[in-house]
Amino acid sequence: MLTAWTENSIPSYSYEEATGYLISLLGYLFQITGQERFRHEALRSAEALIESIGKRNGCGRNGKIYLFDSAIVLRALHLLMKTGSVTEDDDQRQAIETMLHLLASTCREMLDQRLGCLAETNECRNEHWSKRFNFHLLKALAHLHAFETETTVQAELRHTAEQLLRQHYREGLFCPVANHAGTNLHAHCYAVEGILLWGDLLEPTWKDDIREMAAVLAQTQTPAGALPNTWPPSDDAILLADATAQAVRIWQCVDAEKFAGPIKQGLTFLRSLAQSEGGFFYSPDLPHTNSWTTIFTIQALLWQHIGADAGWLI
């Protein structure tokens, strides 16, 4: 399992969502290099993750199940099966297939109820964006669509994605419905990543709007090369490495030549947060070595050498 972060060499809690990202990254590295060590570590993490989830019906922490986290892990395990990373070990294959169907079932139920989070079978009441049925779920819905084979379920997922787009998208930004005046950029980047992962499956107009999304995202970049946590930035705004790495990958996927300047500035900022023992800080203001920031940054750095592949966006 991967922890959320380490601070002063002390690991934090085991984080299922981040472990899902790790499995996807290792699967990607195995796919492009063929090196056995990446496949081995991906399967080792998958086994630990399945054990961590245990008899729960989804992924999360502190007694909560998140639709987003569950979809991230579903995608990671699905990629292992699709890329041939899973051996003919019957027990291993069965464990992964069982977990895939359990997660898919939970995601479908939460989708039907328009829930982003469940806590002890009750809806999460906290208004934090990650707990709501919110625009960041465009990424989760894309992962679910890639897994589903029933056309009726696929159609429902596309319909829901387009509903979220119409409800939350305004002139390049995904915002809460209440005001459309500001947004959390980390969540916004998840939504844009979702559009990239959906590709040609959504209405053609959204494919055109992705260039507007990338251009407006570049406008949020600070002189330091980073993205602030909110837009417009507040007086207490902090510079985020995870959102910056997300933005860099979005620009790499949309038009690496047009956005070469923002990409270079973003990578310069991210490199400034690199740690000698490995990993990247979450922010200059919150200097802990962050797992998902590191994973997003590794892919952004890698894509500068081999080119972006939106289908493998982690």
Of 160-174, 192-206, 228-242, 250-264, the one with minimum mean pLDDT is 192-206
Residue 283 confidence (pLDDT) above 80: yes
Mean pLDDT of 252-257: 97
What per-residue confidence (pLDDT) applies to 33? 94
Q: One-letter amino acid identity for 58?
A: G
**Six-digit token pair at 159?**
């319909």
Helices 137-147, 185-198: inter-axial angle, 10-degree rounding: 30
Counting beta carbons within 10 angstroms of the beta carbon of residue 127, is it exposed (0 to 12), middle (13 to 18) or buried (19 or more)? exposed
What pLDDT, on a 0 to 100 scale, did the predictor assign at position 178? 61
Question: What does the DSSP 8-state code read for residue 312?
Answer: G
Lowest mean pLDDT among 47-51, 92-96, 191-195, 279-283: 92-96
Average pLDDT rounded to a whole number, residues 121-149: 89
User: Which residues lie below 8 Å from residue 103, measured CB to CB, with a gap of 6+?
Assistant: 58, 59, 70, 71, 73, 74, 77
**Closest to 248 (Cα-Cα) out of 230, 233, 227:** 227
Identify the bridge partners of residue 169 per DSSP, sorted by sequence position.
174
Structure tokens at 230: 């909110």
Can you read off the two tokens belonging to residue 180? 């459309």
Is the sign of the CA dihedral 264, 266, 267, 272 positive or negative? positive
Give the distance, in angstroms, between the CA of residue 138 and the centroid of all CA atoms in the same chain: 10
When pLDDT is averaged across residues 33-54 and rounded to a whole number, the result is 95
Grade residue 44 by pLDDT with cuts at 50, 70 and 90: very high
Tell me the sheet residues that pair with 228.
239
Cα 289 to chain centroid distance, Å, stands at 18
Average pLDDT over residues 210-236: 94
Q: Name the more confident of 301 and 202.
A: 301
List the Cα angle 63/67/72 in 5-degree steps. 105
pLDDT bucket at 121, cuts 50 / 70 / 90:
low
Query: 1-133 maps to which CATH number?
Result: 1.20.1050
Give the C-alpha separation, 80 to 31, whole Å: 10
pLDDT by residue (tens digit) across 135-147?
999 999 999 999 9
Name the burial class of residue 191, with classes exposed (0-12), middle (13-18) and buried (19+) by CB atoms within 10 angstroms of its CB: buried
Per-residue confidence (pLDDT) for residue 126, from 0 to 100: 67
CATH number of 157-314: 1.50.10.10, 1.10.150.130, 1.10.3720.10, 2.60.40.10?
Answer: 1.50.10.10
Residue range(s) occupied by CATH 1.50.10.10 in the chain: 157-314
In the chain, which residues fall in CATH 1.20.1050?
1-133
Q: Is the pTM of this model over 0.85?
A: yes
Query: Above pLDDT 70, what percent of the chain?
Result: 97
- Residue 94: alpha-carbon gap to chain centroid: 26
